[in-house]
A and B are shown apart, each in its own frame.
Chain A
Amino acid sequence: MPERWSDYVAILMSALALGYLVYEIDRRRRKLHDIFDVLDADDAYITARLEDMVASGELQPYAGATLA
């Protein structure tokens, strides 16, 4: 057990620093996954819809050089 109050402060500050680090890493990870991620079973419905649009001819490969 720490004997001086300054030891308690040091432990508390270390715990806060570690907590912040974990929080920040997790926040960045979530943000990155929000922006860029893989398509998996969760996205199957959307993928199927897009593929159906291609299969039905509703969507054609874009031939233009610029977006309208």
Chain B
Amino acid sequence: MPRAPRGSGSPRRPRARAGTPRETVQSGSSATPPRVLDARPRKVTRLAVLPQPAALGECAATVPRFRIFIIDSGWNSSAHKVLQENFGLIRELQKEDPIYVLSKDQSIEFMRHHQERIGREPIIAVHDLAAMDKSGTTDFHGFRLHLGLLRTPQQALLALQNFTRFLSTHRQSVDLEAEIRTDLRREGLAGAIEIILHHEAREIGE
């Protein structure tokens, strides 16, 4: 898989399109014609209205933390059907974060460029905007689920439910990477204990 050179990560936020007017804080009357001579940065003083702590919590809950991408080229698989049947519910549960669904054509084109992932779709990729703001894409910047690797509808549904729960419960996480790695380690340890205790194989990952 091609690696991006360090420091050449993707843009952290969508770039403003050329010609798109930027939001600016204007001083003075709106009827005043714009002055172009004085280009020095001016200190804009205005009363800052600080949100109350409760409002801060509300803000944090509604500001998107993740961008969710669904790539599905349409294999006739259990995972594909489970995703289609449950998408509405996921959409409702993840209202705060935008979901981008690649069309079948876009997904196929995407997979043509990433052939090592063929057969793993549907893929759900989650970009952590907070991590991308910090370090771009050169380090941890999200997580992904290869739903297509799960063969039965029950496995796919369970994985989808776990994934959605994970998204919901970690929206406010400060160090998401550490929490994911801890969870993965815990899963590994749980698997080891199960083997030792001769329990039945876990539903997910088998």
Main secondary structure, interface of A, reads: helix
Q: Check B195–A38 contact: CB distance below 8 A.
A: no
Q: Check B141–A48 contact: CB distance below 8 A.
A: no
The complex places the Cα of A31 from the Cα of B206 at a distance, in Å, of 8
Residues of A within 8 A of B99 (CB): 61-62
Contact of A55 among B11, B147, B195 (CB under 8 A): B11
A16 within 8 A of B: no
The complex places the Cα of A57 from the Cα of B106 at a distance, in Å, of 13
- A33-68 with Cβ < 8 A to chain B: 33-55, 57-62, 65-67
Name which residue of chain B comes closest to A30, CB basis.
Answer: B205
Q: Check B137–A36 contact: CB distance below 8 A.
A: no
The complex places the Cα of A26 from the Cα of B23 at a distance, in Å, of 53
- Interface segment, one of B31-39, B40-48, B49-57, B185-193: B185-193
The complex places the Cα of A39 from the Cα of B138 at a distance, in Å, of 10
Chain B contributes a number of interface residues (CB within 8 A of A) equal to 61
Q: Check B110–A49 contact: CB distance below 8 A.
A: yes
Residues of A within 8 A of B196 (CB): 21
Residues of B within 8 A of A37 (CB): 143-144, 184
The complex places the Cα of A56 from the Cα of B184 at a distance, in Å, of 35
Q: Check B101–A34 contact: CB distance below 8 A.
A: no
The complex places the Cα of A54 from the Cα of B127 at a distance, in Å, of 12
Q: Check A25–B1 contact: CB distance below 8 A.
A: no
Residues of B within 8 A of A32 (CB): 184, 187-188, 191, 204-205
Chain B: residues with CB nearer than 8 A to chain A?
1-4, 6, 9-11, 14-15, 17, 67, 69-70, 72, 83-84, 87-88, 91, 98-102, 106, 110, 113-114, 125-127, 137-147, 149-150, 159, 163, 177, 180-181, 184, 187-188, 191-192, 195-196, 202, 204-206
| 9 A-B pairs closest in CB distance | A48-B10, A44-B4, A61-B98, A44-B137, A55-B14, A39-B142, A28-B191, A62-B101, A51-B10
Q: Can you list 21 A-B contacts with CB-CB less than 8 angstroms, sorted by A residue number?
A: A24-B195, A28-B188, A32-B191, A32-B205, A35-B149, A37-B144, A38-B177, A39-B137, A39-B142, A44-B137, A44-B138, A47-B10, A48-B9, A48-B137, A49-B110, A51-B67, A53-B106, A54-B14, A59-B69, A65-B91, A67-B101
